[in-house]
Chains A and B, each alone.
Chain A
Amino acid sequence: MKQVEDSEILEKFANERTKNEAFNLLLNKYQQKIYWHVRRLVIDHDDADDLVQDIFVKVWKYLGNFRNDSQLYTWLYRIATNECITFLNKKKQKNNVSLDDVSYDLADKLEESNYFNGDKIQRKLQQALLTLPEKQRLVFNMKYYDDLKYDEISEITGTSVGALKASFHLAVKKIESFLLNTD
């Protein structure tokens, strides 16, 4: 099925009569990408589900203000990324624990999850990712799984391309070390 162009979605969304249709097109095109981006960050399906709904409610509210100075999907990723970071920070504050402890919590969820069908090495990779600082994990996910370019990630995170490359480099080294040294 041919993907609808972002420009067409925006044009229809601007028209009150076709606004709902436009939003359905947007959901069809981006819902899954946004879901997986969120899911890889928060691990738990239910948390991801709640966040995705919140994200698209925000998209509905603010899409009318979207300007074509950036691509639609980078704008969507930015909203999703901010929602995820806010969620993880709240989790940290609620439990009064450090980020490392949040990682342990996410690792537990990974173990308990009914919606994980990766093999042993895939599970090990996810465990390695959960040892990374939040930003490195974010950058690695967008580069490794979503295959986004650095300038796109830069637009999403508001971080310079150089800093993103360094973060990705450090993340790769830590993951390789984890895969080598952990049973």
Chain B
Amino acid sequence: MDLNNINEDWKKEAPILAAMEAANPFTVPDNYFTDSQEQISARLAIESLTGGMKDGAFAVPEGYFDNLNEQIIARLKLEEHAEDGTENGFTLPEGYFDELSGNIYSRILLDEIPGLKDNSYTIPDNYFESLQGRILAKTTEASEEKTAKIRRLSVPWLQYAAAACVTVMIGTGIFLNYSKKQDSDINSALSKVPDQEIVHYLEVNSTTGDGEVIAEHLLQTGKQPDINSEFSDQEIEQYLETSL
């Protein structure tokens, strides 16, 4: 083929193609070119409104694209880490998903049992209507009872109290002197009372329960015991068994 005269030459080398009509086999929808012209005009109107930039109405923070690469790389590292067996850093109990579907079906079955969720308890008529009033009544009373009353100490009371204290102190001193004297009188009088009468008195008037044991012991020994030395262990044990 002569490239300098290729417009004619190719027809000799490609007779089948040369015999064909160079017709356009493609078609377009009806009125396509009329509509297309309108569409292009509409597109141009939009372009002129947006300043020719598809994202002209949007802005990004200053330096956004400077840091974007680093942010993406950091994010990718996190994603890689997350793929190391843990989902988003969280873990699950072993076999969680194996049991999950069973658990869900159980819940569904429970929910579908009629009346299961209904409250089987009953209450008196108008219970809730009166409940609030009763609660309020009780709480009001309680708060009234618990209210602390603060009273101011008056000066005359203090004077009377001080006088009363002095009187009590003097009275107590006199009483103690008198009772000491009386004790010695009682002791001398008791020494004259026979032991048998004391035992009898104790039997009648004792309220501790120990009296009987003590009286029996006094009768057996005939003398007043020395508490530190004269009771054997066996006696103490016997005492404890009967008195406790």
Contacts and interface: CB of A to CB of B under 8 A. Distances in A.
B22 A145 contact: yes
Given A49-B36, A169-B10, A115 B26 contact: yes
Given A31-B37, A165-B3, A169-B1, A115 B29 contact: yes
B36 to A, nearest CB: 7
A12 B59 CA distance: 35
A154 B160 CA distance: 130
B25 A123 contact: yes
A64 to B, nearest CB: 12
Contact of B13 (A27, A113, A172): A172
Given A27-B40, A125-B17, A169-B3, A57 B47 contact: yes
A36 B24 contact: yes
Interface stretch (A1-9, A73-81, A93-101, A175-183): A175-183
A68 interface: no
A97 B3 CA distance: 34
A61 B13 contact: no
Given A57-B47, A173-B14, A45 B1 contact: no
Interface in A88-130: 113, 115-119, 121-123, 125-126
A60 B47 contact: yes
Interface in A130-183: 144-145, 162, 165-166, 168-169, 172-173, 175-176, 179-180
Query: Which of B24, B37, B40, B43 counts the most A-chain CB atoms under 10 A from its CB?
Result: B40
A24 B37 CA distance: 8
B33 interface: yes
Contacts of B20: 121-122, 125
A32 interface: yes
Contact of A179 (B17, B25, B33, B52): B17
Contacts of B39: 53
Interface residues of A, number: 42
A183 B26 CA distance: 21
A172 B17 contact: yes
A145 B6 CA distance: 16
A52 B44 contact: no
A32 to B, nearest CB: 6
B109 interface: no
A53 B45 CA distance: 13
Contact of A57 (B16, B22, B44): B44
A117 B25 CA distance: 6
B28 interface: yes
A56 interface: yes
B244 interface: no
B17 A116 contact: no
B4 to A, nearest CB: 8
B104 interface: no
B9 to A, nearest CB: 8
A98 to B, nearest CB: 25
A27 B34 CA distance: 10
Nearest to B35: A49
Given A116-B27, A122-B23, A172 B36 contact: no
Nearest to A143: B7
Given A116-B27, A175-B17, A179-B17, 4 more contacts: A52-B40, A118-B26, A168-B10, A172-B17
Interface of B: 1, 3, 6, 10, 13-17, 20, 22-29, 32-33, 36-37, 39-41, 43-44, 47, 52
A-B pairs with lowest CB-CB distance, top 7: A118-B25, A176-B14, A122-B25, A165-B3, A115-B27, A172-B10, A179-B16
